[in-house]
Amino acid sequence: MATSTCCSPAGVADGGDGSGADTSGSAANGEAGATGSEGDGDVILTGLGATPGSASGEVRIVHKLDELDKVEEGDIIVTEMTTPDMVPAMKRAAGIVTDEGGTTSHAAIVSRELGVPAVVGCETATEQLHDGQLITIDGEKGTIRAGGQRSTADEGDEEEYDAVEAVRPDTPVKPMTATEVKVNVSIPSAAERAAATGADGVGLLRIEHMILSLGKTPERYIADNSEGEYIEQIVEGVRGVAEEFYPRPVRVRTLDAPTDEFRQLEGGGDEPVEHNPMLGYRGIRRSLDRPDVFRHELEAFRKLFDVGYDNVEIMFPLVNDASDVRRAKRLMEEVGIDTDKRTWGVMIETPAAALSVEEMAGTGVDFVSFGTNDLVQYTLAIDRNNERVADQYDPLHPAVLDLIDHTIEVCREHDVATSICGQAGSDPRMATHLVEEGITSISANIDAVRDVQHEVKRVEQRLLLDSVR
Ligand code: PEP
Ligand code: MG
């Protein structure tokens, strides 16, 4: 049994200088001896701190899915990279360590949502660590130490309870802000925790987890089951979150999984083999290429509207220009969605999208949302999952900020709402910049909502004072 403690309830990793987190792309900063974790040994590995908090427990190396059963409550999962099938084991674990990935990888996104401390991108963790080894990880500093305080089974139950409480946000006292502060959700079962933050809604509900956890590609699932069952899976997954937040808005993004993630599923053998899946057949490109499959996602939205979930909004990923948007809009209309009545919009994830925003604003979009995880990788040519270049992955790079600022300015002129739902929205420094630029809403991770709310309020008050002084 293991111990696990998270950081302050606000939970945003603080670099120690009080400046707040840079959980979105700061490089591994695991200086030996600098961790405040309980581990009593030397730092034996470093990676990227992905979910703040420290945890001690026994290593369980997981190479293959059939090894997941060996992960017990309080163990530390050590794996190349997590996948949606690992989520039940991730929930049992006290901590997560991966060889691969950056701070916007699956392991990082899901562990943050579960509140489980995680260190990603350690490169050789699965080789250097061994089953049963007691370690302590620090998910803020990105360090792994030998040893740690292992509790007894009885203490463990209590510790485990405390650990769960420690990562659950306190009852929120929500500061009133003109800029809305929303929350991101990737696992529907995190909806309750997300709603308890007092966020103004969900700024991004990813449906990849719902669909990938069916274990089959959408095409195979439909072939083996039926179109109706596929639609129902999406309806049910979204409904839980829409219900939890009602009447607060829930912005649901259509499917955006790269082919390498589909390949691991049943039916994945039919996926194209791509040299670089991040630049390949994903997001709206795939959806527009397979309207026969995509329309089932849209039918799920129509069904949700029909039964009264008028808080559901639709968002399209990875659009490049207005023609992508017009085609998606036409498909919504074809399945019977009234695009004037419903709230819908697109993600700004490529420089092309940012530079085409004026024309996109004329298509009828209600909002755009910055997907900075991708916008940064496509602007700086830094693979977001490549730990070797993670130290150059900088959401605050002037080129990225220029694209964002330009987009906000154009959208304000055209009365289109602007938002951010990439990881960078959880960084108070980015929040400050965006409020100054006039963004409409910011969507943050569950553990960062409170800090972002306070930062937004502070900046808004400063802007008001400046205007009257
Ligand atoms: C993004 O790119 O910032 C985003 C939110 O989408 P994802 O991380 O799912 O690619
Ligand atoms: Mg993206």
Distance CA 146, CA 156 (A): 20
Q: What's the gap in Å between 413 CA and the centre of ligand 2?
A: 25
Q: Residue 441, SS3?
A: strand
Tell me whether the omega of the peptide bond preceding residue 249 falls within 30 degrees of 0, making it cis: no
**pLDDT number for residue 83:** 85
* Ligand 1 atom index nearest CA of 421: 5
Catalytic residue among 6, 7, 106, 209: 106
- Kindly give the interhelix angle for 428-437 and 398-413, rounded to the nearest 10 degrees: 40
Domains, the chain, with CATH or none: 3-146 (3.50.30.10), 168-468 (3.20.20.60)
pLDDT in tens, 310-350: 999 999 999 999 999 999 999 999 999 999 999 999 999 99
* Ligand 1 atom index nearest CA of 256: 9
Quick check: is 421 catalytic? yes
- Once rounded to an integer, what is the mean pLDDT over residues 443-466? 96
Q: Residue 276, SS3?
A: coil
Helix (H), strand (E) at residue 434: helix 428-437
Distance CA 119, CA 400 (A): 26
409, amino acid identity: E
- The backbone torsions φ and ψ at residue 433, rounded to the nearest 5 degrees and listed phi first, read -60, -45
Let me know: does 145 contact 93? Beta carbons within 8 Å: no
Choice from 256, 320, 350, 404 to test ligand 1 binding pocket (greatest atom count within 8 A of CB) = 256
266: which strand partners? 216
Q: Is pLDDT at 379 greater than 60 in this prediction?
A: yes
**Six-digit token string for 459:** 């900046």
373 lines ligand 1 (CB under 6 A): yes
Q: Find tokens 């084991």 and name the residue.
A: 89
Band (104; pLDDT cuts 50, 70, 90) = confident
371 lines ligand 1 (CB under 6 A): yes
Point out the ligand nearest to the CA of residue 445: 1
422 lines ligand 1 (CB under 6 A): yes
- Kindly give the interhelix angle for 227-245 and 291-306, rounded to the nearest 10 degrees: 40
Neighbours of 305 (CB within 10 A): 17
Let me know: does 118 contact 111? Beta carbons within 8 Å: yes
Q: What proportion of the chain, given as a percentage, has pLDDT over 70? A: 86
Q: Find tokens 């997560």 and name the residue.
A: 96
Which residues make Cβ contacts (< 8 Å) with residue 22, sequence separation at least 6?
13, 15, 427, 429
pLDDT in tens, 203-212: 999 999 999 9
Let me know: does 92 contact 75? Beta carbons within 8 Å: yes
206 lines ligand 1 (CB under 6 A): yes
Q: What's the gap in Å between 349 CA and the centre of ligand 2?
A: 6
Let me know: does 67 contact 161? Beta carbons within 8 Å: no
**pLDDT number for residue 20:** 34
Band (221; pLDDT cuts 50, 70, 90) = very high
**Six-digit token string for 402:** 């220029």
**pLDDT number for residue 14:** 34
**Six-digit token string for 397:** 């790079």
pLDDT in tens, 77-99: 999 999 888 888 999 999 999 99
349 lines ligand 1 (CB under 6 A): yes
Q: Find tokens 């485990």 and name the residue.
A: 160
* Ligand 1 atom index nearest CA of 184: 5
374 lines ligand 1 (CB under 6 A): yes
**pLDDT number for residue 227:** 97
Q: Is pLDDT at 156 greater than 80 in this prediction?
A: no
Catalytic residue among 122, 296, 421, 433: 421
pLDDT in tens, 235-288: 999 999 999 999 999 999 999 999 988 998 999 999 999 999 999 999 999 999
Let me know: does 388 contact 101? Beta carbons within 8 Å: no
**Six-digit token string for 341:** 């009545």
**Six-digit token string for 150:** 């292992």
Quick check: is 106 catalytic? yes
Smallest CA separation from ligand 1 atom 6, residue: 371
Q: What's the gap in Å between 122 CA and the centre of ligand 1?
A: 22
DSSP 123-173: SSHHHHS-TT-EEEEETTTTEEEE---PPPHHHHHHHHHHHHHHHSPPSP-
Band (171; pLDDT cuts 50, 70, 90) = low
- Once rounded to an integer, what is the mean pLDDT over residues 203-223? 94
